[in-house]
Structure 1
Amino acid sequence: MKAAPADRSAGLEWMRMPEAETRVLHRLRVREGDTGLGDPGGWNVGVVVDVETTGLSATDDVIIELAMRRFRWDDAGRITSIGQRYSWLEDPCRPLDPKIVRLTGLDEAMLAGQEIDEHAARSILASATVTIAHNASFDRPRVESRLELSGGPWACSCSEIDWAEAGFDGRSLGYLLSQIGFYNGAHRASDDVDSTIALLASEVSPGRTALAELVERSFSDSWIVRAKGAAFELKDVLKARGYRWDVDRKVWWMEVFDRTPEEWWLAANVYGKRQNLP
């Protein structure tokens, strides 16, 4: 007599989530024009910038796509209007790494003969009260080098907003976007610009937008702390703390607004005697 077949669905119970425990993500659409929010008399101008490059090195790699978009905000940090999208491709005059092609969807045929409109890009940036990028330490030096610019206030929506304190997990752009109920397209500069604007408009606490926090913190004094000489084995500890790897300087770094606690943390967890034992 054959045994009854095992109930193979039992182990798949986790796949049948109740509807209340699911999350629906909507395709992000950032529309041009007035948002209907805040004080329309607010004339602060923000420009969100993102680049795609041939690689990660600031000295050897070049921009292949530059995107930016202006918006206005009021004194309470509410976005009142959003401008048109600007995006330019540029021929790097070199073969593309297949990893970059897979990541961005850009290939050599699409970039052939393309060039950034330098005059238009400079004019847009010159109109900004502040220029914002989700990873300003990556975007800023590349944009300023390519457009031969220097100075002007920049802010970083990745490092200068306390996403964890606001109840978010992680700091990557796509993951943060999903936590406010949206997803975006392929890894292209214009999509990343729109994702950043959507995050800036979201609330990090009741009645307070991420943009309000970013503006407040970006105009405050801050410090760049670099964990020079940190042992390789401590990379996970540093990442968990919020440090990021600087490819060009070959060092872990983090921006802080009070350096004393961070100096104590480094002394105890990175440079302490126990950490340096063989």
Structure 2
Amino acid sequence: MSTQYDMFEIEQRPAPTGNRPGPRRPVGMSEDDMVRYLQATGRYRILSKLESRRIVTDVDDAFPLRGIVLDTETTGLNARKDEIIEIGLVAFSFNAVGQVGEVHAVYGGLQEPSGPIPAEITRLTGITDADVAGQMINMAQVKALVGPADLIIAHNAGFDRPFCEAFSPIFADKAWACSVSEVDWAGRGFEGTKLGYLIGQAGYFHEGHRAVDDCHALLEVLDQKVEGSSITPFSELYRASQKSRVRIYAEHSPFDLKEHLKGRGYRWSDGSDGRPKSWWIEVDEHLADDELAWLQTDIYRYDANPPMQSLSAFDRFKA
């Protein structure tokens, strides 16, 4: 026996056994009713399709700052030799405490590279040589969005910023923020930092791995409000972007202590990008003295003075 609810049928089953009675099944369910019913059973998790925000051209004085969520698709991982084949930009307003206002403009464009797109890139992005044939990113539109921006956000800015700066100088003198490294996703209960994980755990799903779609999705995740807290991920990200950080290069550190450095969070630079050839780490400015003391005690074992570089959002994530 079954009872029909709107466009689908739900099998009538015996009431569940145990101390907790199952939810009653109302008749004539709306879509919202169906969602609440399925969630109440405890057997389903509902994901909502992520809808792009509407574009609002009117300026609200309560949100005077301008942000850009940016995503790129490229022919490879090396910004010195690979090329951008797609860029997505979503321009929005925000205020000094990190509250998001409205989306004011959106741009997405394809670009034909100098050679064929590798098969692996097509598999990952769905972008084919036919898609980009004769295509060129409209730099007038890109500059119109990026020019007024107070902050550019990318999900792995260490990847996107070098590509964008190689593509156009409009990106070089901007403040950048990284939504991977500058939000404590684990502390917010997320199990990973990949955008797909964040979208799913935030209760959404979205279409495909295309640049503009990913920009819309990232903005929704960053602006997600949790009951009882006024600190959204975007607010946390904006605060982090305003802090100065210090990059410390452990030059001439003993080779046999490299695992010790890796365990501490140091990364290797081969010197090909103009940085010292050494292990390095970035720390908040107020932690720099403690990190230097650790190096002197645990690595060098003398009063070494390794190279240090102060970084703001205007300097971070550069190649």
**TM-score of the superposed pair, with normalisation by structure 1:** 0.76
Moved more, 87-96 or 203-212: 203-212
Q: Is the 8 A contact 1:88 1:117 kept in 2?
A: yes
In structure 2, C-alpha distance between the alignment counterparts of 1:268 and 1:103, rounded to whole Å? 45
- Structure 1 residue 217 corresponds to structure 2 residue 247: no
User: What amino acid does structure 1 have at the position aligned with 2:74?
Assistant: T
1:48 alignment counterpart = 69
Aligned pair in 2 of structure 1 residues 133, 225: CA closer, same or farther (>3 Å)? farther
1:104 alignment counterpart = 125
Q: Which has the larger radius of gyration?
A: 2
User: What amino acid does structure 1 have at the position aligned with 2:65?
Assistant: N
Moved more, 21-30 or 156-165: 21-30
2:142 alignment counterpart = 121
In structure 2, C-alpha distance between the alignment counterparts of 1:42 and 1:206, rounded to whole Å? 20
- Structure 1 residue 24 corresponds to structure 2 residue 51: no
Q: Is the 8 A contact 2:48 2:205 kept in 1?
A: yes
- Structure 1 residue 76 corresponds to structure 2 residue 97: yes
Unaligned runs of 5+ in 2: 1-39, 302-319
C-alpha offsets along residues 59-112 of structure 1, whole Å, 9 cap, x if unaligned? 110000011011111333221211332101000020111110010000001101
- Structure 1 residue 200 corresponds to structure 2 residue 200: no
1:207 CA drift (Å): 1.3
User: What amino acid does structure 2 have at the position aligned with 1:125?
Assistant: V
SS, match of residue 221 in structure 2:
helix
SS, match of residue 143 in structure 1:
helix
1:146 alignment counterpart = 167
User: What amino acid does structure 1 have at the position aligned with 2:200?
Assistant: S
Q: Is the 8 A contact 2:222 2:232 kept in 1?
A: yes
Aligned pair in 2 of structure 1 residues 234, 41: CA closer, same or farther (>3 Å)? same
The match for 1:175 among 197, 200, 203 is 197
1:256 alignment counterpart = 283
- Structure 1 residue 163 corresponds to structure 2 residue 190: no
Number of aligned residue pairs: give it: 249
1:155 CA drift (Å): 1.0
SS, match of residue 208 in structure 1:
coil
In structure 1, C-alpha distance between the alignment counterparts of 2:278 and 2:85, rounded to whole Å? 26
1:26 CA drift (Å): 1.6
Moved more, 24-33 or 116-125: 24-33
How many percent of aligned residue pairs carry the same amino acid? Answer: 36
In structure 1, C-alpha distance between the alignment counterparts of 2:128 and 2:97, rounded to whole Å? 42
Unaligned runs of 5+ in 1: 1-17, 274-278
Q: Is the 8 A contact 1:40 1:80 kept in 2?
A: no
Moved more, 218-227 or 86-95: 218-227
1:50 CA drift (Å): 0.7
Aligned pair in 2 of structure 1 residues 57, 252: CA closer, same or farther (>3 Å)? farther
Aligned pair in 2 of structure 1 residues 245, 176: CA closer, same or farther (>3 Å)? farther
In structure 1, C-alpha distance between the alignment counterparts of 2:152 and 2:177, rounded to whole Å? 6
User: What amino acid does structure 2 have at the position aligned with 1:152?
Assistant: K
Over the aligned positions, Cα root-mean-square deviation in angstroms equals 3.3
Aligned pair in 2 of structure 1 residues 99, 212: CA closer, same or farther (>3 Å)? same
Aligned pair in 2 of structure 1 residues 160, 64: CA closer, same or farther (>3 Å)? same
Q: Is the 8 A contact 2:157 2:178 kept in 1?
A: yes
1:259 CA drift (Å): 3.8
In structure 2, C-alpha distance between the alignment counterparts of 1:89 and 1:130, rounded to whole Å? 23
1:14 alignment counterpart = none
User: What amino acid does structure 2 have at the position aligned with 1:106?
Assistant: I
User: What amino acid does structure 1 have at the position aligned with 2:245?
Assistant: S
User: What amino acid does structure 2 have at the position aligned with 1:137?
Assistant: G
